[in-house]
Amino acid sequence: MLAVVHAVAARLAAAGIDWHLAGSAARMLRGERVRPGDVDVEVATADGAGAARTLGLPAPIPHDGRGGWSLRTGGEVNGVRVDLSAGLVITGPGGTLHAGDAPVDRVPGTGGRDAIPLVPMGEALARAIVTGSGTRRVAALAALPDEPVARADAIAYAESRAAAARAAR
């Protein structure tokens, strides 16, 4: 899995495409004990088609579901499922949240590779709050780190993002 994340990173960097790693693969890179089933990549709307071509994926198409809209595509890179979302916007009773507005966390690359940009801890919780999904909120809370300061920081981040989403209504 880590080799595929680095392959994705190298391809997107070579193409000059800004991106974020999301989902369980991002949690794995933070040191959590998870076994990702796929690699979730987020890019700006304008970079969707280029990112798909760069990764050898089909052209992204509009997708509206589970409280979010994006241009989406997916396929395999080196035998691992890669899901690409471009221009992700989360909407729900909690407002409107643009994924591209999230700051970027970075973890150092290995073996001299560039740092990997990650969706911030707490972003999944912010998205769950905005959609109003209790199930997603429970899952996002369960995925937060156990270490008290890191957990509190992630919750504070999620609350600030949710407040911004409410203001954007």
pLDDT at 65 over 80: yes
CB 94 within 8 A of CB 131: yes
pLDDT in tens, 121-139: 999 999 999 999 999 999 9
State the total domains in the chain: 1
**According to the model, what pLDDT value does residue 78 have?**
94
Fill in the amino acid letter for 60.
Answer: P
Distance CA 95, CA 168 (A): 6
Distance CA 139, CA 100 (A): 22
**According to the model, what pLDDT value does residue 112 have?**
66
Which residues, in sequence order, are CB contacts of 104 under 8 Å at separation 6+? 20, 117, 118, 119, 120
Distance CA 5, CA 27 (A): 12
pLDDT at 111 over 80: no
Region 98-106 average pLDDT: 89
- At residue 169 the predicted structure's pLDDT band, cuts being 50, 70 and 90, is confident
pLDDT at 145 over 70: yes
Based on the number of CB atoms within 10 Å of its own CB, is 65 exposed (0-12), middle (13-18) or buried (19 or more)? exposed
pLDDT at 42 over 80: yes
Domain that holds residue 15: 2-167
Which residues face 86 on adjacent strands?
A: 43, 71
CB 144 within 8 A of CB 125: yes
SS3 content of the chain, % helix, strand, coil (to 5): 45, 25, 30
**According to the model, what pLDDT value does residue 154 have?**
95
**According to the model, what pLDDT value does residue 31 have?**
87
Region 97-106 average pLDDT: 89
- Torsion, Cα 57 60 66 68, to 10 degrees, reads 130
Region 86-113 average pLDDT: 87
Q: What is the CATH number of the domain that holds 129?
A: 3.30.460.40
